Structures are given as C-alpha cells and as structure tokens.
Amino acid sequence: MRLFISYRRDDTASAAGRGYDRLCRVLRPDDVFFDVSAIKGGEDFEQRIERAIDDSDAALIFIGDKWVSPAAAGDTARIWKADDYVRMEVRAALAKLKLVLPVLVARAQMPGHEQLPDDIRGITTRNALPLRHESFDDDMENIIAALFGTSGKQRAWEAPSFWSRLAYGAIGSVAGLGIILVIAIVHYQLLSRSLAETIGTPFTVLLIIAGGVAGLWAGLRYRAARVRRA
C-alpha cells in the first residue's frame, strides 16, 4: 500500500509528523508521502503532490482547529481559496482514491457542509477517526486498522518479520564470534600458544559454536525488546 498524508502546517504538523513516524513502522518510508521528507529542493510542489496522489492507494487528511481558518483576521478562509494546497490535496484524493480517511486531531470537529467549497464537501461524508495526544497509541492503532484491516488488538508493526529477525540474529552471531576471537587473541598474546593447544580442538570448536549461538539468541532478544518499547 502507498499512503498520502495531507495536513496544514500551522494546524496539525506535529500530529502528522508523529503519525508519519508510526506509519513508517508498517510501511517503507518511500511508501508514505509526507511533504517534508518527500519533496526535494527545487521540485515543482503542485506536480509532485498530484503525482504522489496518483500513485497512492489511500490518504489521511489531518484536520485540526485551524483547518478552515483564515490566514489572517478578516481574510477569507484558506480552504475557500483556489490555490490552497490543502484544498487541492483533498479534491484530488476524493476524485482518485477509494479510501480517504479524515483524522480529527486533538478535539477538532469535522467542518460543517456549509464551511467547505463544493469540490471537497465529500470529505464530510467520510467516517473520521480521532487522534488525541493522551491516547495517541490507541488512536493510531485504530487508524492503522482502518487502513490495513488488521486487528486493533495487535499492532501491525509488531508482526514477526523474517528478514528483521534474520538481520538481528546474524548481527548477534557475528558479535558473539567476535568475542571468541578477542579471547583467542588475548590468550595467544599472554601464553604464546593457540587456544586449541590449551583446551584442545574439540572444546575450541564447541566454544566457537556456543559463541555464535549465544550471539544469535542475544540478537533476537534485543529485537524483541525494541519491538515491545515501540
């Protein structure tokens, strides 16, 4: 799945950024469009947005208290201006994507039908989900469940990953063997003879195997601990 994140910078930038970080545990960062990290210097902003929405399967629309507010007192609400980038993103998402999920940040409410121009009023008919600071983890879990259809009781990023376990296990094994190598070098420097000469070849082989297995176990335990802390 490829995901597009829409937000207004002076409204929900912090919440959108936290949401992006959490979603990158489920998807590859390249599959989550977040303009701060996805648009390069000198790149045409509007064309990049349109291309990103064309390439996406779903969109999260982060809505806060200032989503429909004017940029300055007495001015027209930004969402009514033709060149408002949030309006352009929502319009394109509604026209091209099957799944458009409004995310109500903090205590924000869905704007009324009359508060929005005709081309994006369809957002008011989409079921919205809350994203609150005090229940961020649970709320993100519900958002992920809505996007991917996974159970809200198990976070998608906690699912076992063969390649992740393989990588941590391999690193742990290499570290364990490295410790055995250091021991062998120190032993030789102190006694001027190899470890095998001191304890015998069979015990040396067993020591090497034990070091690799212990490192593998430690690597997998470290990975499990990191997942639990996430």
**Could you give the angle at which helices 85-96 and 45-55 cross, rounded to 10 degrees?**
20
- Total Cβ atoms within 10 A of residue 74: 5
pLDDT by residue, tens only, the chain of 230 residues: 899 999 999 999 999 999 999 999 888 888 999 985 445 555 566 787 888 999 999 999 999 999 998 878 778 899 999 889 899 999 999 999 989 999 999 989 999 999 999 999 999 999 999 999 999 999 999 999 999 876 444 444 444 566 778 888 899 999 999 999 999 999 999 999 998 999 999 999 999 999 999 999 998 888 777 655 44
CA–CA separation, 93 and 90 (whole Å) = 5
The two tokens of residue 138 are: 């649970």
CA–CA separation, 107 and 212 (whole Å) = 52
Q: Determine the pLDDT at residue 47.
A: 80
CATH 3.40.50 intervals, the chain: 3-158
Q: Is 60 helix (H, G, I), strand (E, B) or coil?
A: strand
Q: Determine the pLDDT at residue 7.
A: 94
CB 104 within 8 A of CB 63: yes
DSSP letter (8 states) at residue 3: E
Q: Determine the pLDDT at residue 168.
A: 86
Q: What angle (nearest 5°) sits at the alpha carbon of residue 144, between those of residues 139 and 149?
A: 125
CA–CA separation, 5 and 46 (whole Å) = 15
Q: Determine the pLDDT at residue 80.
A: 94
List 59's β-bridge partners, or say none. 4, 100
- The predicted model scores a pTM of 0.64
CATH assignment, 3-158? 3.40.50
List 100's β-bridge partners, or say none. 59
Q: Determine the pLDDT at residue 44.
A: 61
* Alpha carbon separation from 138 to 11, 58, 67, 119, 142 (Å, rounded): 22, 20, 23, 32, 6
CB 126 within 8 A of CB 101: yes
H and E: helices and strands count for the chain? 8, 5
Q: Is 104 helix (H, G, I), strand (E, B) or coil?
A: strand
* Alpha carbon separation from 55 to 1, 2, 6 (Å, rounded): 10, 7, 14
